[in-house]
Amino acid sequence: MGNQSDADFEPRQYRVKHRTTYTYEDDVTGCYERGCLRPRETPSQRVLSNDIEVSPQPDLIADHVDHFGNHSHYVEVRTPHTELAVTKTSIVQVEWPRADMDALNATTVAQARAALAADADPVERSTYLLPSALVDLAPSVRAYADSILLPDKPLGDAIVDLTRTIYTDFTYSSGSTSVKTTLPELLENREGVCQDFAHLAAGCLRSVGLPGRYVSGYIETQPPPGKPKLEGSDATHAWTSVLVPGGGWIDFDPTNDHLADSRYVVTAWGRDFRDVSPLKGVIFTESKASKLKVAVDVIRLDTLAD
Amino acid sequence: MTAQVDDDSGGALTSYRAMLHGSDLQGVGADSAAGTNQGSGHVPQPAYDELLGPDGLREVNSAVGEAIDSLGRYGLLTRAARARRFVQSDGVTYGSTEDGVQGRNWQIDPIPVVIGAQEWADLEDSLSQRAHLLDLILSDLYGERMLLHRKVVPPEVVLGHGGFIRQVDRVRLPSPQQLFLTATDLARGANGEWQVIADRTQAPSGAGYAMANRRIITRTMPALHRGVDLARLRGFFHTMRGALQDVAPETSEAPRVVLLSPGAASETAFDQAFMATLLGFPLVEADDLTMRDGRVWVRTPGKLEPVDVILRRVDAEWSDPLELRNESQLGVPGLIDATRRGTVTVVNPIGSGVLENPGLQHFLGAVAQEVLGEDLTLTAPPSYWCGDDAQRSHVLANMSDLVIKPITRDANNASRFGWDLSKEEQDDLRRQIEATPWAWCAQEPIPSSSAPVITRDGLEPRRLVLRTFAVAQGGGYRFLPGGLGRVASEIGQIQVAGRTGSVAKDVWVQASDDIATEPWAGHPSERIATYAGAEPSGLAPRVAADLFWLGRYAERAEGTARLLKVADDLTDDYGHRPGSLGAAAMTAILEAVALVTAVRPGLVESTTEHYPTEPTTHLRTLVTDSRTPGTVGYAVSRMVQASQQVRDQLSLDTWPVLSRLTETLEAEHEEESQLQSLLNQLIESLLAFAGIMSQSMIRDRTWAYVDAGGRVERSQQMVALLKATLAQENSPVIDGQITEAVLVAGESVITHRRRTAAGRGPASPVQSALNLLLLDRDNPRSVAYQLDRLGEDLRLVGDEERAEIGGTLAERLRGVDLDELGGHDRSALLALLNDLDGDLRGYADAIGARHFMRKATQTTHLTEWTLSRETH
């Protein structure tokens, strides 16, 4: 697993700016959007401020806490437009603890599975154990999971192995997959992006009886050495979290081969991408085509809140 | 318990009894249809017959038994035929065909199923308990989920069910009960006790059909119906109307309720539209609604009207494309969020389909104990959930004796009858169950009762399923007395369902004192008074367009039929006298027919040979062909289609007329009768239709759109006819005959003769005709008259602007100088008619653009995968 220094687990503040722009060839006369426009509070994350800007001026923005505990927003825009821009700017304070791998290694995969069946909250456990739209527990997924998550393997090692094996087995290749790619296809082609790897990791966990959820958010990136960081050069990110005995969740990132640390900003979680799509919409237009542009900046701030 | 019947007199009952005792219900005819028992003998036999008990006729059936006896086999068959005719003339449809025409496969048997007052009261109590239980479960599943947290129900049963919709978590109706409507499919067990087959809670259909059945049986068996004191059905719809208003958001003072339908192509479109009529609320489709400022509105020209309550007949998955199926065009984006914010109430609430889960069945007893502290009084056959190891072992070991069901039912995953499966199919199913055991359950089959059905061979026993209906009101559930009865369409058939074919039964509940004394079933909504005073609703563009086209096609059918009648007359007289002047006139009129209908001889789809086609053959085709635009048959079929789209807007008298039109056209294919008499019959029916429109309809928006359609069509047809006849350079020797023909087609020949005889009006016949058919503002056939009426129609729908366009056109007509037009040179007339034709088309387009605009195309976008990877 990739090296993580102690500094990576120190508290820090980020300003995360996420701008989604759709452009159309013809007027859109009605636009209805659903998105996760405010990061959720977690034990490792506080939201200090959150600002949502929609252009043109929306007729309505409403928010609620959804089934999974995420902030979910409904946006209605009826001013005719050929460009819709939704910008979310959040200031968050993040401090992830380092997971205690020794403690996790005290139980095996099989023991963890049994302990969770007996003691975990039944609704939470089942929610993240059942297959979901994008996490198909197909035979090839089960076989892949069985080859990594052996019943007798200590739980901490199993999580590390799962993270590393996916990282090693798959090539990161943007554009190689889409929201429609299934896990068996991914296993066949061996290339994908963070969303695919997060789904696969969740599928492997669920296959062996460990609840796994999909986490969407951001990660702070560094520009290539000697180059300045370009505006809009960051992106959304996705990783996986596993429920362990005692009720805790351990977040790990198969795309980058390490556990989540203070560089990770959480937006929302659910069973898979479908539950936490950053923004989706229904529009009324005669426009034949649309263009999507997403710009994300994750900027580390110097200040820290108490 | 039983009444004595003289077995020797009737015969029908005797042979029915012999059939019950002597035959194996599974065996007879079992191999003749799909979905029937293959005879392995695992399904229990019906041990209970609705009509006959062990000692003879059941007491509740004494009147029915007498009726059967006195009618005898022939009389019964006559009644069955009568019921079939009523189904057709009432326009009761079920299922849909590919071209959007509603299916005509609703079948009903005249012998009612009778349930005694006490038996029904007991059943209603049990059903009520079940409804309350389901309501509490629904509340819990979208609330605290204590049943799952405590494992009273294993969480996978619910969380793995397709009907559990997470997007509506914690959304509540503004009423104590969350389950607004519930329907229950029941069949009798071996001892005659009612048992639950399944709960229908998504968007229950069938109450409208039950009412339609009652209307038909009342007329099919009038004497029997009069002789039995029954609980009436109408009170239920009255109660439901009040309940719908009561469930409106608290902020709305005069609640507006609509019934949201997936469209006229839906299988149960009739049920939906009839329900809307019975409730007195408009039927709408997704295109009629729009989301604005987080509220739902009906789109009407120039104005939006808020919607407070939606009676949902669109399945939850399709009801909000923003949250659920993105490709759905049947729902309203943002609907779920609007329900969450409480600006609109949707019933049944989105998510109620979770209760249709057959996997819940096994746990209901325990749940009843947990939440009600009671045992369920309504039993269900033993059922098993495969997520439990012991139960799964039982299911896998006894597959041949069980109905095996996926917990989520969909088009690709239906229930299987274990006894129907081959060894290979059983093994395959076993593997599926073992892969995802939580997704499967099984139920022991119910023997069910038999009920007699009239067939050519006498009465035949068929398995009976009863669907009951309840609506939540005032903290309790109110029931439709009886419900929708259905029997298998084949004698050995085990499954009784719409898709596999079934025959409807009217279900009679004997009146008890308390049912009989309250036909309106009390509890009117407190809000009804304010609602009644509310402005009449405007019509959505889709509805307006269908009404308009109904008017247009009715007029087109009539106008075309009149013209063809004239052409046929001439062909009759001169077809065999080529070279005569009459024949020349005939040719000119046939040419005009081709121009007006735009159907050239030989170009008709169904005609294989090319031009020339025998005139009479061609004229016949122009009447009966229903697939070629321009024919009478086509106009009638579009007229029927348009009326089915707006069924709830039309008088019930409309359907027998439409049914007669269709029958007349279809009957013609069988026998070669005179074209004249066929045309006369058609015109008669079309006049009856016009009569209903003008005599039975309130002069409101609905009527105005139908009338406007007729006006637009008549004016355009008249201009087309004049262009094709009087505006042509005809030889003066046949001009008189052509003019006469045009006047006949234009229903104005009598006036013409009277005026000519009295020396009034223009002297030349052509000028007289033009005056009558174009300019005369008192002639209901003239173009000027149409423009005047059209203006009034448009004012009625609040469109002063378009009304004025018509006024300008009419003004221009008034300035026309007939002296210049009716002379030998007709080029000025042709130019005038061409201009008028263009103006009328432009006018119709302007009306369409204002009143019939559909919403813009709906598309969805998802943010695609975006990417991020730490730079190493």
Please state which of the ranges A139-143, B527-531, B554-558, B696-700 shows the lowest mean pLDDT: B527-531
Closest CB to A122: pick one of B148, B169, B438.
B148
| pLDDT at res. B465 | 95
B767-822 pLDDT, tens digit each: 889 999 999 999 999 999 999 999 999 999 989 999 999 889 988 888 888 877 87
Q: What is the pLDDT of residue B868?
A: 46
Q: Name the CA radius of gyration of chain B, rounded.
A: 32
pLDDT at A4 over 80: yes
Tens digit of each residue's pLDDT (9 = 90 or more) over B188-198: 998 999 999 99
User: Span B660-682, mean pLDDT?
Assistant: 81
> Which tens digit of pLDDT belongs to each residue from A248-273?
999 999 999 999 999 999 999 999 99
Angle at A50 between CA A20 and CA A280, to 5 degrees: 30
A138 touches chain B (CB under 8 A): no
Residue found under tokens 């009447």: B623
pLDDT of B8 above 60: no
Q: Which residue from B minimizes the CA distance to A297? A: B868
Please name every residue paired with A304 in a beta bridge, in sequence order, or none if there are none.
none
Residue-wise over A36-64: b if at least 16 C-beta within 10 A, else e?
Answer: bbbbbebebbbbeeeebebeeebbbebbe
Q: What are A93-118's pLDDT values in tens digits?
A: 999 999 999 999 999 999 999 999 99
Yes or no: say if A273 and B862 are a contact pair by the CB < 8 Å rule: no
**B370-383 tens-digit pLDDT:** 999 999 999 999 99
Res. B29: pLDDT tops 60:
no
How many beta-carbon pairs under 8 angstroms link A with B? 149
pLDDT in tens, B532-544: 434 456 688 889 9
**CA distance, residue B293 to nearest chain A CA (Å):** 6
pLDDT at B518 over 60: no
| pLDDT the model gives residue B36 | 40
Residue of A nearest to B861 (CA): A281
Among candidates B868, B439, B330, B548, which has minimal Cα distance to A221? B868
Name which residue leads in pLDDT, B252 or B577: B577
On the 0-12 / 13-18 / 19+ scale of CB atoms within 10 A, B582 is: middle
First-residue to last-residue Cα distance in chain A: 32
Question: Is the pLDDT score of B6 beyond 70?
Answer: no
Report yes or no: A36 and A306 within 8 Å, Cβ to Cβ. Answer: no
Kindly provide the b/e burial profile for residues B803-823, where b requires at least 16 CB atoms within 10 angstroms of the residue's own CB: bebbeebbeebeebebeebbe
Distance CA B117, CA A56 (A): 64
pLDDT at B649: 86
Chain A, residues 174-213, CB within 8 A of chain B, namely 174, 177-179, 193-196
Interface test with A, best of B141, B328, B337 (most A CBs within 10 A): B337
pLDDT tens by residue, B258-282? 999 998 888 899 999 999 999 999 9
pLDDT of residue A175: 83
Average pLDDT over residues B217-239: 94
A15 touches A301 (CB < 8 A): yes
Cβ–Cβ < 8 Å for B541, B299 = yes
Q: Report how far residue A6's alpha carbon sits from residue A11's, in angstroms, rounded to the nearest whole number.
A: 11
Determine the Cα–Cα distance for residues B220 and B214; give it in Å rounded to an integer: 10
Residue A169 contacts by C-beta under 8 Å, 6 or more apart in sequence? A190
> Residue B758 has what pLDDT?
85
Which pLDDT score is estimated for A252? 97
Residues of B in contact with A278 (CB under 8 A): 863, 866
Residue B513: predicted pLDDT = 67
> Would the pLDDT of B23 be above 70?
no
Q: Which residues contact A42 (CB under 8 A, 6 or more apart)?
A: A266
Q: What pLDDT score does B669 carry?
A: 58
Question: How much is the CA Rg of chain A, to the nearest whole Å?
Answer: 20
Question: In this predicted structure, what is the pLDDT of residue B521?
Answer: 45
Full-model pTM: 0.88
Q: How close does chain A come to B337, measured CA to CA in Å?
A: 7
Q: Where are the beta strands (DSSP E) in B263-370?
A: 283-284, 289-292, 295-300, 303-306, 309-312, 345-347
**In the predicted model, what is the mean pLDDT of chain B?**
87
3-state SS of B220-270 is HCHHHHHHCCECCCHHHHHHHHHHHHHCCCCCCCCCCEEEECCCCCCCCHH
Q: What is the mean pLDDT of chain A?
A: 94
Q: State the average pLDDT over residues B71-79.
A: 94
Residue bearing tokens 């990061």 = A39
Residue with more model confidence, B142 or B10: B142
Query: Which pLDDT value is given to residue B611?
Result: 37
Write the pLDDT tens digit of every residue in B824-846.
788 899 999 999 999 999 999 99
Q: What is the dihedral of CA B712, B714, B720, B723, to 10 degrees?
A: -110
Please answer yes or no on whether B855 and A282 come within 8 Å at the CB atom. Answer: no
Q: How confident is the model at residue A120 (pLDDT cuts 50, 70, 90)?
A: very high
Q: What is the mean pLDDT of residues B496-510?
A: 84
Q: Which two tokens stand for residue B220?
A: 């099919």
**Cβ-based neighbour number of residue A146 at 10 Å:** 13
Q: Is A290 on the interface with B (CB under 8 A)?
A: yes
Identity of the residue in A121, A127, A296 whose CB atom sits nearest the CB atom of B149: A121
| pLDDT classification of B627: cutoffs 50, 70, 90 | confident
How far away is chain B from the Cα of A127, in angstroms, using its nearest Cα? 6
Which uninterrupted H or E stretch holds B645? helix B632-645
Residue A100, token pair as written in the block: 């205690």
Query: Rounded distance, CA B824 to CA B710, Å?
Result: 33
Instruction: Assess: ipTM above 0.90.
Output: yes
The pLDDT tens digits for A129-177 are 999 999 999 999 999 999 999 999 999 999 999 999 999 999 998 888 8
| Whole-number pLDDT of residue B476 | 95
Reading across the β-sheet that carries B345-347, which strands appear in turn?
Answer: B283-284, B257-260, B309-312, B345-347
Q: From the CB of residue A131, how many other CB atoms can be counted at a distance below 10 Å? A: 20
Q: Do A76 and B291 touch (CB under 8 A)?
A: yes
Contact of A133 with chain B, judged by CB distance below 8 Å, is answered with no
pLDDT at B863: 66
Q: In whole angstroms, how far apart are CA B197 and each of B136, B707, B830?
A: 20, 49, 71
* pLDDT greater than 60 at residue B672: no
Q: What is the pLDDT of residue B535?
A: 45
Residue B872 above 70 pLDDT? no
Which residues in chain A are contacts of B867 at CB distance < 8 A? Answer: 174, 193-194, 235
DSSP assignments along B579-628, one per residue: TSHHHHHHHHHHHHHHHHH---TT-STT--SPSPPPHHHHHHHHHH-SSS
CA atoms within 13 A on the CB side of B410: 8
Reduce the secondary structure of B418-450 to three states and give it as a string: HHHCCHHHHHHHHHHHHHCHHHEEEECCCCCCE
DSSP state of B46: P
pLDDT tens, residue by residue, A20-35: 999 999 999 999 999 9
Give helix B701-724 / helix B541-574 axis angle, nearest 10°.
30
Q: Are B793 and B707 in contact (CB under 8 A)?
A: yes
The pair of structure tokens assigned to B606 is: 């169904």
Q: Which helix (H) or strand (E) holds A295?
A: strand A290-301
Q: What is the pLDDT of residue B423?
A: 94
Between B402 and B762, name the one with better pLDDT: B402
Q: According to the model, what pLDDT value does residue B46 have?
A: 86
